[in-house]
Amino acid sequence: MGVGDILNSIREKNALLFYFGTVCFIAGLVCIVLMQTTNQRIMGVSAWLKPMKFYLSIAIFSWSMGFYMQFLDAQAKVSVYNYVLVAGMLIELLIITGQAARGQLSHFNVSTPLNGALFSIMGITIVIVNLWTAYIGYLFFEQSGFDIPMDWVWGIRLGIIISVIFAFQGGIMGGMLRHTVGAEDGGAGIPLVNWSKTNGDLRIAHFFGLHALQIIPLLSMLIARNTMHVIAIATAYTLFVVYTLVQALQGKSLF
């Protein structure tokens, strides 16, 4: 099944998440243009870098969930989740975009009552979306019969679990009010993602943990031949993500 087939499947089975993901993807491309054509900078990088990453990440997240959930029988519950996801991610994206336009940090910014309130709203919103995503994962465990191979199902199940766990890892960063360990945020970072070259960076484990949602099911579909293969893949991937988290907590750069 190619990318085009997957996107067509999402459009047919979950139009809301397909079009929401498409809008986010286009907005991410607009942010790339703004990165090249504007001078607004926050902590030494383009103000539009963070919105770009979030728009593209949420597009992929929306399409992924839209594709997976077509295999669930409980479509009424899927419909509710769709609206929770879209509403929650819209709040997140509007705040991130608005803060970028103002030249303000969106995350870990409690410098004024307004900035602190916006950061708190984002935190509450993402917790709600994560809890609902965990419930969707539960539905994949609750349902016994599927029209796809069970190794694919286990890839989806474990991908959702790992993704939700490391989504909540964001709470560590929120509690610290920074993502860098051993230095203040804003130091030299690698291109595009801007992960720290010199100190621990909690965003690395957060990134790879979140994208278990795509990587584990994809590997399950491409190389797994049975459920034990999927469990082995998920275990190895989780150990890698935990390693990046431990490295960051020790203040050590992954690079």
Residue 119: burial class (beta carbons within 10 Å; 0-12, 13-18, 19+): buried
- CB–CB of 31/55 below 8 Å? yes
- Gap between the Cα atoms of 168 and 58, Å rounded: 16
Tell whether the model's pLDDT for residue 235 goes beyond 80: yes
Strands (E), the chain: 41-42, 45-46, 180-181, 200-201
Per-residue model confidence (pLDDT) at position 1: 65
- Gap between the Cα atoms of 247 and 236, Å rounded: 17
pTM, entire model: 0.93
How far, rounded to the nearest angstrom, does the alpha carbon of residue 237 sit from its chain's CA centroid? Answer: 16
Per-residue model confidence (pLDDT) at position 189: 83
Tell whether the model's pLDDT for residue 190 goes beyond 90: no
Kindly state the tokens that stand for 205. 């484990």
- Report the mean per-residue pLDDT for the chain: 94
Residue 59 CB partners (closer than 8 Å, separation 6+)? 21, 22, 24, 25, 28
